[in-house]
Amino acid sequence: MRPTAARPRTTVRPTAFVALCAAAPLLLTACGGGSGGDPDTLKVSFKQSTDNSVKVMDTYLADIKEQFEKANPGKKVELVPIKAPDAEYYTKLQQMLRSPRTAPDLVYEDTFLINSDITSGYLKPLDPYLAGWKDWDRFIDTAKAAAKGEDGKTYGVPDGTDTRGLWFSKDVFAKAGLPADWQPRTWEDVLDAARAIKKEVPGVIPLNVYTGKPVGEAATMQTFEMLLYGTNDGSSDPLYDKDSKKWITAGKGFRDALTFVETVYKEKLGPDVADALDPNVGTRVRGEWLPQGRLGIALDGSWLPQDWLEGSGHEWPEWSKELGLAAMPTQHGQAPGKVSMSGGWTWAIPAKAANPDLAFEFVKTMQTKANAQKWYVANSGIAVREDVAADPAYTAAQPGIRFFTDLVEHTHYRPAYPAYPKVSTAIQEAMEAVTTGDASVEEAARDYDEALRDAAGGQVTSK
């Protein structure tokens, strides 16, 4: 989930920090030792890649730590990485947030989980801090909304967003007789391209779509929701009815999306099922299959190039010449013709953090224009600061940035309400059932409806 000229740094001297706490005791909480932690040590927890060669976040945070400690003599930053696949990261993070003994001062939160953690009381509202931070006005509204709770308060500072599309191998396409400027109009066009690859280029995986519980939200968002949100005209959410505040049971669009997944694996257009259900399949897509020309088409995210940059361990400087990009089409080519999903991550302060005020000062250091831009480029992310997005140095920094940024016009966001993580798991279970052949589409849809009722406490509706 991307180095720029040095810019003036945000600095907070210890004396100014103490004065700030004394001047606004009701506005800011627990400057220093709130839960008995060391008031001079800031603990920052983040998701570390399971692939030891990918150090994008580690490198970025090490630079911010150096800046922060230099600007704040006497203060130390302790980086606390959690090395795990997505699903395990969420579980481990929530375990840490439950106790003041284990809660860090700052955590990296996926926007899909933030409302669940808000409801559980794990996170601290940031509104008092944001009100006095002029840079907050630079953030786009959709990114701000992704970090809001149902109570209207903001619980995280977004560090970028993403979009999704179709990556394809130009070499594989040439061998299969497919065009280098490929842009499918319908789902059937995508499947037909995969069928051509299977026939003409044996030994290559025609199409990868993530599926099943082992890959977690990658299956739900990168595959299923990319399909589901392309089954209508985009005027309404096919998962959640905002008017009635109820989750929507499996209708025709839901079944059609499952049928697409079933077709990929029934026709052997995807990887072997055992590989598809490997929790680390994403690492293989980015680190092996695409760079080695062993995969024709990948339905995946804007962040893939971070694995191919210099120093990543999977350096692939030729990727922009060897890969093509196409938007994911709507089911039948109906307007608007393209579909994408967007998510993103935020920096949040745990409710039981020992040093919340110091944590927000660290966020401000991360989110100077220069540092934010450095992160977007290193992480192959999409800017959520308007001033960065408008900077030609950002848009020209890496091939593909303009393509994925333009998809924001056609993107959708998950209904990230407290029940969503359980709804997502139910979707993964339905996908896995049709992938393995353990259930038909109809059976998987019925099982989903039953799981949905449990996940949503009975608050469901049919559309």
At residue 339, the 3 state secondary structure works out as: strand
Return d(Cα 102, Cα 84) in angstroms, integer: 18
With vertex at residue 237, the alpha carbon angle to CA 141 and CA 389, rounded to the nearest 5 degrees, is 25
Does the pLDDT value for residue 6 go beyond 80?
no
Q: What is the mean predicted confidence (pLDDT) over 262-289? A: 97
Does the pLDDT value for residue 19 go beyond 50?
no
With vertex at residue 165, the alpha carbon angle to CA 160 and CA 169, rounded to the nearest 5 degrees, is 120
Non-local CB neighbours of 56 within 8 Å, separated by 6+ positions: 49, 306, 309, 312, 378, 379
Non-local CB neighbours of 459 within 8 Å, separated by 6+ positions: 245, 246, 247, 419
| pTM attached to this predicted model | 0.80
DSSP string computed for 192-257: HHHHHHHHHSTTSEEEE---SGGGTHIIIIIIIIHHHTTSS-SSS-SSEETTTTEEEP--HHHHHH
Ordered by where they begin, the domains of the chain are: 14-158+344-408 (3.40.190.10), 164-342+414-461 (3.40.190.10)
Does the pLDDT value for residue 32 go beyond 50?
no
Q: What is the mean predicted confidence (pLDDT) over 8-35? A: 35
At residue 108, the 3 state secondary structure works out as: strand
Q: What is the pLDDT of residue 23?
A: 36
Helix (H) or strand (E) holding 328: strand 328-329
Q: What is the pLDDT of residue 405?
A: 87
Q: What is the residue type of 83?
A: K
Q: What is the residue type of 192?
A: D
Return d(Cα 223, Cα 221) in angstroms, integer: 6
